[in-house]
């Protein structure tokens, strides 16, 4: 009805206009039809626009719901937390790694922080250099959470590409422990290096355990006297540790015997699994006890006795590889010196020369930074030969084992 009245009104107006201007009826009808078509098209366009707006608004709502649903799902799968939240590049650049703790990692709440600390992962660099799988297994957190925590720690510690001059300056600051013999120190490039694994292998009575005892004393010396001003951790797998020998060596250097003995933390390993677990537990005390030296005497003993025959060789070597990487990771993370003693075996097909070979195969050979072969000489004299070192030549040095400890010939 409204359209009709509008049309009638328009018609009457057009008629009056026609009368004034002399427009014919046909022209008037054509004008009216065009006017109605324009109104219809405009209405259709407005309706289409309204439908498009509604559809777009609906899409926004759907997207928002999906985003909310996905966020909830990720939170559940990510084991309580999203580690990526709050980690900005500007924040990473300002971080002082030495004063950084796991509680400060973006997204790590009190519950996960407690799990990490209770498992011995209180050092941010220890987390950054550890495979996420091991972090997950030892701390009991989720797989995705372990991956995110490790990634965040790596970004904070700036574990990335660098240049040789930076590494050169960093290595100049590494401490070394003197052995008591100047010739042996020269063979080692100044002493037992911190942040590296030094392997001593040889037959019985060649001085492996004696050097280990001497290093437990010398590591306590101030840095200007050839020590690292720290404590030693001695893992004994063969029952050859003697505190009386520590006392003799400390007395020879004018040290307080009681203090020297207190600064050696001892652990007896009764099997290969126990030996590996001791290394896991050591993370909890390395920093709090200011440990600067780890001794494992010997690294291979339990593995050789528990895994025998060709059928068990592969699992033995794999477990030994895991253990060796534990030691390497601790040495590099906490910048402490690690010394492992190793047994030997005879090669039956060698008819000329020395048939003695280090036990442990290529796994142990590749894992050690420095390899030193010890052999007997006349009386109390021993000979040390550098077998493998990244930056030192093959050479030999003679030393003596006396009541006072390791001395020059």
| 124 contacts 153 by C-beta, under 8 angstroms | yes
Average model confidence (pLDDT) across the chain: 81
> Dihedral of CA 289/244/214/295: which sign?
negative
Q: Evaluate if residue 323 carries a pLDDT over 80.
A: yes
- Residues 18-33 have pLDDT tens digits of 444 444 555 545 554 5
**117 or 94: whose pLDDT is higher?**
117
Helix axes 272-282, 313-334, angle to 10 degrees: 20
- Residues 297-322 have pLDDT tens digits of 999 999 999 998 888 899 999 999 99
Q: How confident is the model at residue 106 (pLDDT cuts 50, 70, 90)?
A: confident
**161 or 274: whose pLDDT is higher?**
274
Q: How confident is the model at residue 76 (pLDDT cuts 50, 70, 90)?
A: very low
**181 or 36: whose pLDDT is higher?**
181
Q: Evaluate if residue 51 carries a pLDDT over 80.
A: no
Q: How far apart are CA 319 and CA 276, in angstroms?
A: 9
- Residues 238-290 have pLDDT tens digits of 999 999 999 999 999 999 999 999 999 999 999 999 999 999 999 889 988 99
Q: How far apart are CA 397 and CA 381, in angstroms?
A: 10
Q: How confident is the model at residue 87 (pLDDT cuts 50, 70, 90)?
A: very low
Q: How confident is the model at residue 231 (pLDDT cuts 50, 70, 90)?
A: very high
- Edge to edge, the sheet with strand 405-408 lists 264-268, 231-236, 291-297, 337-342, 197-202, 370-376, 381-388, 396-402, 405-408
Of 91-105, 128-142, 245-259, 349-363, minimum mean pLDDT range: 91-105
pLDDT at residue 98 in the model: 59
Kindly list the structural domains of the chain, giving each domain's residue range(s) and its CATH number in brackets, ordered by start. 63-160 (1.10.150.20), 164-408 (3.40.50.300)
**246 or 141: whose pLDDT is higher?**
246
């Amino acid at each position: 009805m409204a359209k009709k009245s509008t049309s009638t009104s328009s018609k009457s107006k057009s008629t009056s206009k026609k009368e004034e201007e002399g427009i014919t009826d046909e022209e008037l009808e054509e004008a009216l039809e065009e006017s109605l078509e324009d109104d219809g098209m405009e209405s259709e366009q407005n309706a289409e626009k309204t439908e498009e707006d509604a559809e777009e608004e609906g899409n926004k709502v759907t997207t928002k719901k999906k985003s909310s649903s996905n966020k909830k799902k990720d939170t559940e799968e990510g084991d309580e937390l999203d580690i990526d939240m709050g980690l900005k590049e500007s924040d990473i650049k300002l971080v002082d790694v030495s004063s950084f703790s796991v509680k400060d990692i973006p997204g790590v709440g009190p519950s996960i922080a407690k799990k990490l600390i209770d498992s011995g992962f209180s050092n941010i660099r220890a987390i950054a250099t550890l495979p996420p799988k091991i972090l997950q297994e030892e701390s009991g957190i989720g797989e995705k959470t372990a991956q995110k925590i490790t990634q965040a720690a790596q970004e904070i510690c700036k574990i990335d590409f660098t240049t040789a001059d930076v590494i050169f300056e960093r290595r100049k600051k590494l401490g070394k422990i003197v052995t008591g013999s100047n010739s042996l120190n020269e063979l080692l490039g100044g002493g037992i290096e911190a942040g590296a694994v030094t392997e001593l292998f040889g037959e019985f009575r060649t001085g492996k355990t004696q050097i280990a005892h001497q290093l437990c004393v010398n590591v306590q010396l101030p840095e200007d006297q050839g020590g690292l001003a720290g404590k030693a951790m001695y893992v004994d797998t063969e029952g050859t540790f003697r505190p009386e020998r520590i006392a003799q060596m400390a007395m020879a250097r004018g040290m307080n015997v009681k203090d020297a003995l207190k600064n050696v933390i001892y652990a007896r390993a009764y099997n290969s699994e126990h030996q590996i677990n001791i290394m896991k537990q050591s993370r909890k005390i390395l920093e709090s006890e200011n440990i600067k030296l780890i001794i494992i005497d010997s690294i291979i003993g339990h593995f050789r006795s528990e895994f025998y025959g060709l059928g068990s060789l592969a699992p033995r070597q794999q477990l030994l590889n895991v253990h060796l990487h534990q030691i390497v990771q601790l040495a590099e993370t906490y910048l402490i010196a690690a010394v492992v003693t190793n047994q030997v075996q005879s090669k039956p097909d060698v008819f000329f020369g020395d048939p003695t070979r280090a036990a442990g195969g290529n796994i142990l050979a590749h894992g050690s930074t420095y390899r030193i072969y010890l052999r007997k000489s006349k009386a109390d004299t021993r000979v040390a030969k550098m077998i493998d070192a990244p930056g030192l030549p093959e050479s030999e040095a003679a030393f003596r084992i006396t009541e006072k400890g390791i001395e020059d010939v």
